């Protein structure tokens, strides 16, 4: 692990790392983790990481603020190392030069949130913390429950009562204390922060605990390393980056994590440019995209309503850093309708064999929207993050799939049924 300190993302106040701290004491802004990149670069390099045969996120331990817990096992040990692959069949129907998918549906609890929960749980183990609480629309709670179970820690998940049943099942099976509330994700967020402050429980909340971004940044590391290998390596030892990365956005924490990962690598001199970052929001949950469009960086809460529950956020907890991620990389925000999200979910599954939940397919819907808007260049190499598995939320799939009826077991009826 690397030595680090915290720095406020708005006022540059700094805080040492020997304390549990979530936000700036001055204005309550998100905290960034800052490392001594000069010192890291004297010891580590893309080459030294490349010879490590461990494919999990812990191969990047020299760039993480928490070390892999000794003796840890199970999901906590193996999270990371998901496939990056090119989908040539989709390049024929779209305008982007190359379309790649980073398939985080294959993480242990089937969503990208595992990367964040792994860091938070590892931190808890390192510091003797026994109980971790989180608010969740579903996936963050699942990921915390799974990682905490592997570490032998207690997790408490507070979720809206409308969360998808499969995600609630995952949380319960992993043994977390699941509490459903009569309210929204924002209500769950406020309640867990209050519980953390007054009861002293360690809080994992996305866009609140600074370690979630540190876990999510590992997806940017993997994209660079895997993309370089796919390109046949580089002559100068640096990693090669794609031209654009498209990210589904709810509260803004994943795109902030992706941005942090590329920023870390730039600071180390291991890459020589940062891809444009495109954030995709559901039209019914577009507080951050609205702020980007207005140009004033002020995020006004919305009453979120979308089929993509994982990116449904009334009051995004990491909106300002998400806006910066897009602005500083020359990217953009796009919004997509629920209909476009569901269409993308089917198209993704039928062209690439990836079954994503609606939020997980929103990145591909966003790519299609960029193509419609002609806001993408014909030679661009685009990586699309697929953030969560379709089995977590089958409601939209079942509502939109071909309706089935049963037949008598005869060959004649079979042939008629598939005609
Ligand atoms: Zn501050």
Tell me, what CATH number does 287's domain have? 3.40.50.1100
In a domain, 227, yes or no: yes
Q: What is the pLDDT of residue 132?
A: 98
In a domain, 128, yes or no: no
Contact 192, 137 (CB under 8 A): no
Compute CA distances 44 → 57, 229, 261, 287, whole Å.
16, 18, 16, 40
Give the angle subtended at the CA of 135 by the CAs of 393 and 131, to the nearest 5°: 120
Helix (H, G, I), strand (E, B) or coil at 100: strand
CA of 11 to the centre of ligand 1 (A): 4
Q: What is the DSSP letter of 256?
A: H
In a domain, 136, yes or no: no
Q: Residue 96 pLDDT more than 80?
A: no
CA of 139 to the centre of ligand 1 (A): 29
Say how far apart CA 95 and CA 302 lie, in whole Å.
33
Say how far apart CA 50 and CA 229 lie, in whole Å.
10
What pLDDT digit, counting tens, does each position of 229-277 carry? 999 998 888 999 999 999 999 999 999 999 999 999 999 999 999 999 9
The token pair that represents 380 in the structure block: 């661009």
Give the angle subtended at the CA of 338 by the CAs of 388 and 333, to the nearest 5°: 75
Structural domain of residue 301, as residue ranges?
A: 74-110+212-400
CA of 64 to the centre of ligand 1 (A): 23
CA of 67 to the centre of ligand 1 (A): 27
- Domains in the chain, number: 1
Per DSSP bridges, beta strands 31-35 and 14-16 are unpaired
CA of 262 to the centre of ligand 1 (A): 23
CA of 23 to the centre of ligand 1 (A): 8
CA of 36 to the centre of ligand 1 (A): 21
In a domain, 275, yes or no: yes
Q: Is the CA virtual torsion 49, 53, 59, 62 positive or negative?
A: negative
In a domain, 38, yes or no: no
β partners of residue 383: 100, 245
Say how far apart CA 330 and CA 363 lie, in whole Å.
17
In a domain, 186, yes or no: no
Q: What is the pLDDT of residue 9?
A: 96
Cβ partners under 8 Å of residue 345, min gap 6: 356, 357, 358, 360, 361, 390, 396, 397
Contact 115, 80 (CB under 8 A): yes
Q: Smallest Cα–Cα separation from 140: which of 162, 161, 120? A: 120
What pLDDT digit, counting tens, does each position of 120-150 carry? 999 999 999 999 999 998 999 999 999 999 9
CA of 252 to the centre of ligand 1 (A): 18
pTM of the model: 0.96
In a domain, 17, yes or no: no
CA of 22 to the centre of ligand 1 (A): 11
In a domain, 348, yes or no: yes
Q: What is the pLDDT of residue 144?
A: 98
């Amino acid at each position: 692990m690397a030595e680090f300190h915290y720095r406020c993302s708005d006022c540059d106040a700094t805080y040492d790392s020997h304390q549990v701290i979530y936000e700036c004491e001055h204005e309550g802004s998100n905290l960034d983790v800052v490392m001594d990149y000069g010192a890291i670069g004297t010891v580590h390099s893309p080459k030294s990481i490349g010879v490590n045969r461990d494919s999990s996120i812990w191969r990047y331990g020299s760039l993480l603020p928490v070390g892999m817990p000794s003796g840890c096992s199970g999901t906590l040990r193996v999270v990371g190392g998901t496939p990056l692959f090119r989908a040539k069949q989709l390049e024929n129907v779209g305008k982007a030069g190359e379309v790649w998918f980073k398939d985080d549906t294959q993480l242990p609890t089937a969503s990208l949130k595992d990367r964040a929960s792994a860091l938070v749980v590892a931190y808890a183990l390192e510091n003797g913390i026994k109980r971790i609480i989180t608010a969740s629309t579903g996936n963050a709670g699942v990921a915390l429950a799974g990682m905490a179970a592997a570490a032998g820690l207690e997790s408490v998940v507070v979720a809206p009562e409308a969360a998808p049943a499969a995600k609630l099942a995952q949380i319960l099976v992993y043994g977390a204390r699941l509490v459903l509330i009569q309210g929204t994700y924002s209500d769950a967020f406020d309640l867990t922060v209050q519980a953390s402050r007054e009861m002293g429980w360690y809080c994992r909340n996305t866009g609140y605990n600074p370690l979630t971004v540190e876990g999510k940044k590992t997806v940017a590391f993997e994209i660079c390393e895997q993309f370089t290998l796919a390109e046949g390596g580089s002559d100068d030892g640096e990693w090669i980056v794609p031209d654009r990365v498209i990210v589904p956005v709810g509260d803004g924490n994943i795109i902030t994590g992706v941005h942090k990962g590329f920023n870390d690598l730039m600071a180390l001199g291991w890459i020589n440019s940062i891809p444009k970052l495109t954030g995709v929001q559901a039209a019914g949950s577009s507080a951050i995209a609205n702020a980007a469009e207005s140009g004033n960086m002020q995020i006004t809460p919305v009453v979120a309503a979308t089929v993509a529950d994982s990116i449904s956020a009334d009051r995004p907890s990491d909106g300002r850093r998400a806006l910066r991620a897009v602005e500083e990389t020359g990217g953009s925000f796009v919004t997509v309708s629920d209909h476009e999200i569901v269409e993308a979910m089917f198209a993704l599954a039928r062209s690439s064999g990836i079954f994503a939940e609606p939020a997980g397919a929103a990145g591909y819907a966003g790519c299609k929207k960029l193509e419609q808007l002609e806001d993408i260049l014909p030679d661009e190499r685009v990586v699309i993050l697929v953030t969560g598995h379709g089995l977590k939320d089958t409601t939209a799939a079942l509502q939109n799939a071909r309706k089935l009826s049963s037949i008598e077991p005869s060959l004649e009826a079979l042939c008629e049924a598939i005609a």
